Amino acid sequence: MNTGPDLHPPLLLIGSLPGDAARAVMAQWGGALGPRLLALPDGETGYRRMWMEFLCFQVFEPNPAIETRSRPPPVDPEDPDDWRQPGDDWISLGYERGTWRFRVRPDAGAIDLGELGYAREAVASYRAFEALRSEGRIAPNLRFQVSIPLHDSSLRWYMERRRDVERLWRPYSEAVAREVDAMLAAIPVEDLLIQWDACAETLGLDPAGAGHWPWQPEGDRRERFSRSVAELSASVPEPAMLGLHLCYGSFVEQHLVEPADLETCVALANAAVRGAGRRLDYVHMPVPKGRADDAFFAPLRRLEAGGTKLYLGLVHGDSREANLARVAAAKRHAGAFGVAAECGFGRAPQEKMPALIARHREVADALPRRP
């Protein structure tokens, strides 16, 4: 059992990792990277491979308060309800295949989103996590990591109208709180790390990303983000660790928008640290492969992290020298930091993973050791 927070491990895994089964994914990554890791996710395998799209067919479509306006073709043409495990051909089509669109019905009363599914999957994967730990195949001090999207990342992609997202905002808060409670009923609090994923929130604040939606939220988007972080974080008790992944998307190993610099991420990180209402243990920011220049990292000088650890997503599959060049550029503008990939890579080919694991290990081992 984990004995408490340790913010010194240099490596963070974002959440999504390629593989068919959680145990195999955790054994591969946890076994190879060992005590360098802060925590170990289960890879978000199976029907969770497309991040939170499973909420469409598992939560939104069956809900009597929500009307389905459009839906993509099923994975298996012979089974109209087959949404469970998209394959590589399905992924390569992107959203050209169509996507889900929903509206809240005009006659909807009180809305209950029911079970989201995060706790069910986490509890099953945690049993495999415990077994691997008891077998000595993963480091004893690893936390078990569960990643959950913030409000706009879960709702805004698929709801046709602004008022639909606002109507579902509180039901989503309530549903996430139930998911966290269900996890804590089965997972010791000192073993758990919850990570909030903020993709729509990051893209929505960056002027280059706002055009992904036909409508924009009312009011100050930074305040909206802070409210989302605060409402969901209230469900996570202090002994559990809490992190934040700021994201520019990663559909086919590529950002939806390449950030010009870290200005948007720093603004959101400062807002989250101030507004979470509890300890925020870390924040993760993505770094594109081609950026080892001062202009990209300069906004880090305005980061007001306090005791929150910074993880920079600068580990890529290019050369060791290129990875270390990004580390060197970041050091000119930031204090101590850990490293990670820029996003999850559960949709990347499995054959790329041994080299990427090696890059994670090399970059982590090149960082200064803790005192």
* 226 close to 220: Cβ distance less than 8 angstroms: no
Please check whether residue 236 is in contact with residue 178, taking contact to mean a CB–CB distance below 8 angstroms: no
Q: According to the model, what pLDDT value does residue 166 have?
A: 96
**How far is residue 318 from each of residues 288, 302, 325, 345, 356, measured CA to CA in Å?**
12, 29, 11, 15, 9
Q: How many domains does the chain have?
A: 1
Identify whether 10 is part of a domain: no
Q: At what angle do helices 320-331 and 353-366 cross, to 10 degrees?
A: 40
pLDDT, position 348: 73
pLDDT given at position 222: 93
Q: Is residue 9 part of a domain?
A: no
Q: Are 25 and 45 in contact (CB under 8 A)?
A: yes
**Residue 12, in any domain of the structure:** no
Asked if residue 8 belongs to a domain, the reply is no
User: Which residues on neighbouring strands pair with residue 242, listed in sequence order?
Assistant: 194
State pLDDT tens for residues 24-37.
999 999 999 999 99
Nearest to 314 by CA among 282, 348, 337: 337
Q: Residue 344 is encoded by which pair of tokens?
A: 């999850």
Question: Which residue do the tokens 């409210």 mark?
Answer: 227
Q: Residue 218 CB: number of other CB atoms within 10 A?
A: 10
Please report whether residue 167 resides in a domain: yes
Residue 293's CB is within 10 A of a number of other CB atoms, namely 12
Q: What DSSP string runs through 98-125?
A: ---EEEE-TT--S------SHHHHHHHH
> Rounded to 5 degrees, what are φ and ψ at 231?
-65, -45
Look at residue 122 in the predicted model and tell me its pLDDT.
Answer: 97
Boundaries of domain holding 85: 22-366
The answer as to whether 131 is a domain residue is yes
Return per-residue pLDDT of the chain as tens, 371 residues.
Answer: 554 445 579 999 998 888 889 999 999 999 999 999 999 999 888 888 777 888 998 999 999 999 999 887 766 666 655 555 554 444 444 445 568 899 999 999 999 999 999 999 999 999 999 999 999 999 999 999 999 999 999 999 899 999 999 999 999 999 999 999 999 999 999 999 999 999 999 998 888 777 777 778 888 999 999 999 999 999 999 899 999 999 987 765 666 678 999 999 999 999 999 999 999 999 999 999 989 999 999 999 999 988 999 999 999 989 999 999 999 999 999 989 999 999 888 677 778 888 899 999 999 999 976 55
252 CB burial (10 A radius; 0-12, 13-18, 19+): exposed
Q: Residue 150's closest CA among 205, 195, 193?
A: 195
CATH number for the domain harbouring residue 129: 3.20.20.210
Pairing of strands 282-286, 101-104: unpaired
pTM of the model: 0.91
| Cα→Cα distances 77→56, 72, 139, Å | 18, 11, 43
Say if residues 151 and 228 touch (Cβ distance below 8 Å): yes
* Residue 103 maps to a domain: yes
| Residue 41 main-chain phi, psi, to 5 deg | -80, 165
pLDDT recorded at residue 84: 52
Please indicate, yes or no, if residue 226 is contained in any of the structural domains. yes
